[in-house]
Structure 1
Amino acid sequence: MQYMEFGRTGHRSSRVLFGAAALWDVSQKEADNALGLLLDHGVNHIDTARSYGDAELRVGPWMKTHRSDFFLASKTGARTKAEALEELKQSLTRLKTDHLDLWQLHFLVDSDEWETAMGEGGALEAVTEAKKQGLVRYAGVTGHGIDAPKAHLKSLGVYDFDSVLFPYNYPMLQQPSYKKDVQALLDLCKQRNVAAQTIKSLARGEWGTKEKVYTTWYDALGEEKAIQMAVHYVLSHEQLFLNSSGDLSLLGHILKAADRDIQAPDELAMQALVEKEGMKPLFV
């Protein structure tokens, strides 16, 4: 496993972060098996959210003996100060901890929601209040969709967030406007030492009429070589962290790929993968 400074936080993070959305609807036994994988592969960063079903409840028991082993991040989808602080209280209780290392404003892309969150009495005020109280050490912003990088640039213009999170995979980056927005965001993140987290590394496209074989809401790559190429495509960019996918059956394959010597797949190889797997941009 490779490690890298997580922005300006002082945490030397594993390049692969555990995306705890994979614990949305699993038993504690299944969750504990996942913990074993994380420890075996040296993952030291967990990313969850109050809205991820039972995920926080499954991570909570781990914190009794492993709190110091992990940089613990969660998210709030609330847009007002009062609602966000209530969600933070719930997250801390569910996670059985007295503080989060990173608290993120989740899916902050919609312009109206952005105005509410960043305005008077908004969720951003909850972030500053929580930091004052020592409930949160660092703050981030996350987003899905084609407009996420652009929205993060706007957010960074208002508040000096410590991290951002956005979709990043080969099909998405073939869209010129998206690629341009991502590059602008990464340039600013590098300038300010903001951690850049990525999601949807294995996204093959929407399920459509296909039978769902994973718990991810999107169709995901499943063949080991394909997963390795997709993981290496992300991790070969020295600035990026990769959040593991929302299905526990994919976790071992992702960690195995990350444990190997990271080699950037060439353009022809990625084009061949897209054609073979029928990959399409998840967001357009």
Structure 2
Amino acid sequence: MIPRAQFGNTGHLSTKIIFGAAGLGSCSQAFADEVFDTLVRYGVNHIDTAASYGNAEERIGPWMKEHRSKFFLATKTEDRNADAARRSLERSLSRLRVDKVDLIQLHNLVEADEWEQVHRTGGALEALVKAKDEGLVDYIGVTGHGTRIPAMHIRSLKEYPYDSVLFPYNYAMMSDSSYREDVEELLVICEKQGVAVQAIKSIARGRWNNTSPDTPHYSWYEPLTHADAIRRAVHYVLSNPQLFLNTSSDYRTLDHILNAASLPISAPANIEMEDDAREFGISRVFDGHDLERI
């Protein structure tokens, strides 16, 4: 079974693998049900979705009627003002068929102007705090993409005691010294404050322009597909006890990820990760400030 750990200060023992539900956005309910059967088989007990993930919340909804108590349920809002964020949350509750979510997250809060809007009077955070007071959510987190997001999370945690953060974490990204320094500073803060840390893009091979345009795309980046390389990428993340790993939206990789997490975790040697980078052409999915609004 997949190991579990305290998800920050929430008191929830989450599986170290969190199911990323973005891939449910354009699939049938029958396919979604098969995916959920897989999650139950492996004992995954934490779901991460978002209002902007197509029909993902609606695909999760039917499962919540029977299985709500088995899952820590997280969603996200992209809205930056209070009224819109409240409407987004209420719509998510309806789609998910629940009375509350465990975690609501500000989705991809990386741009300075949006950060200012969220945190001022009448901003989205105000609405989420009110929803927490009303019992519609238990915890509030913040997420983001791109090379600037660890530093922005540090800024966010100075402004408000968020319960969780989410950002890209893999060997290629951490090989960039500037990015690594920001991540390491963020991890120290999260450890001190009891903030849960979620890793995304952990099995990314690179952007799709590395391969033939005829290759089917089930996530915006190209994931690794080789089982051993996925195992090493998963263990690279999970060997850090602070980190939880969010699965790829390409569900062809789901069994490989879950299998890898079910094995005894052993940190791969740098030479192994470097060999994988050469053999599979692994590159950073973010480099500079481009594509950070994804």
TM range (shorter): over 0.9
The Cα of 1:22 is off from its aligned counterpart by: 1.6
Distance 1:70 1:244 in 2: 15
User: Per-residue displacement from partner, 1:14-70 (whole Å, max 9, x unpaired)?
Assistant: 000000012111000100001111011010000000000110000000000000000
Distance 2:252 2:33 in 1: 14
The Cα of 1:256 is off from its aligned counterpart by: 0.7
**Partner residue in 1 for 2:100:** 99
Structure 1, unpaired ranges of 5+? none
The Cα of 1:252 is off from its aligned counterpart by: 1.1
The Cα of 1:213 is off from its aligned counterpart by: 2.9
Per the alignment, in what secondary structure is the counterpart of residue 129 of structure 1? Answer: helix
The Cα of 1:249 is off from its aligned counterpart by: 1.4
TM-score (structure 2 length as normaliser):
0.95
Superposed structure 1 runs of 4+ greater than 4 Å apart = none
**Partner residue in 1 for 2:292:** none
Query: Is the counterpart of residue 3 in structure 1 residue 4 in structure 2?
Result: yes
**Partner residue in 1 for 2:65:** 64
**Partner residue in 2 for 1:232:** 235
Task: Kindly provide the amino acid, as one letter, of the partner of residue 259 in structure 1.
Answer: S
Distance 2:127 2:281 in 1: 43
Distance 2:254 2:110 in 1: 28
Aligned residues: 284
**Partner residue in 2 for 1:192:** 193
Q: Say whether the 8 Å CA contact 2:170–2:236 is kept in structure 1.
A: yes
The Cα of 1:248 is off from its aligned counterpart by: 1.6
Query: Is the counterpart of residue 245 in structure 1 residue 248 in structure 2?
Result: yes
Task: Kindly provide the amino acid, as one letter, of the partner of residue 267 in structure 1.
Answer: N
Query: Is the counterpart of residue 201 in structure 1 residue 202 in structure 2?
Result: yes
Distance 2:212 2:246 in 1: 25
Q: Say whether the 8 Å CA contact 1:15–1:242 is kept in structure 2.
A: yes
Task: Kindly provide the amino acid, as one letter, of the partner of residue 60 in structure 1.
Answer: G
Distance 2:216 2:241 in 1: 32
Indicate the RMSD between aligned Cα atoms, in angstroms: 0.7
Q: Say whether the 8 Å CA contact 1:205–1:220 is kept in structure 2.
A: yes
**Partner residue in 2 for 1:142:** 143
**Partner residue in 2 for 1:210:** 212
Task: Kindly provide the amino acid, as one letter, of the partner of residue 57 in structure 1.
Answer: E
1:81-100 matches, cutoff 5 A: 81-100=82-101
Distance 2:111 2:231 in 1: 33
Structure 2, unpaired ranges of 5+? 288-294
The Cα of 1:146 is off from its aligned counterpart by: 0.3
**Partner residue in 2 for 1:259:** 262
Q: Say whether the 8 Å CA contact 1:23–1:248 is kept in structure 2.
A: no
Q: Say whether the 8 Å CA contact 2:223–2:250 is kept in structure 1.
A: no
1:151-170 matches, cutoff 5 A: 151-170=152-171
User: Per-residue displacement from partner, 1:57-111 (whole Å, max 9, x unpaired)?
Assistant: 0000000000000000000000000000000000000000000000000000001
Per the alignment, in what secondary structure is the counterpart of residue 225 of structure 1? Answer: helix
TM-score (structure 1 length as normaliser):
0.99
1:263-278 matches, cutoff 5 A: 263-278=266-281
User: Per-residue displacement from partner, 1:227-262 (whole Å, max 9, x unpaired)?
Assistant: 111111100111100000011211111101111111
Q: Say whether the 8 Å CA contact 1:214–1:220 is kept in structure 2.
A: no
Per the alignment, in what secondary structure is the counterpart of residue 26 of structure 2? Answer: coil
User: Per-residue displacement from partner, 1:140-189 (whole Å, max 9, x unpaired)?
Assistant: 00000001100100000110000000000000000000000000000000
Task: Kindly provide the amino acid, as one letter, of the partner of residue 72 in structure 1.
Answer: L
Per the alignment, in what secondary structure is the counterpart of residue 159 of structure 2? Answer: coil
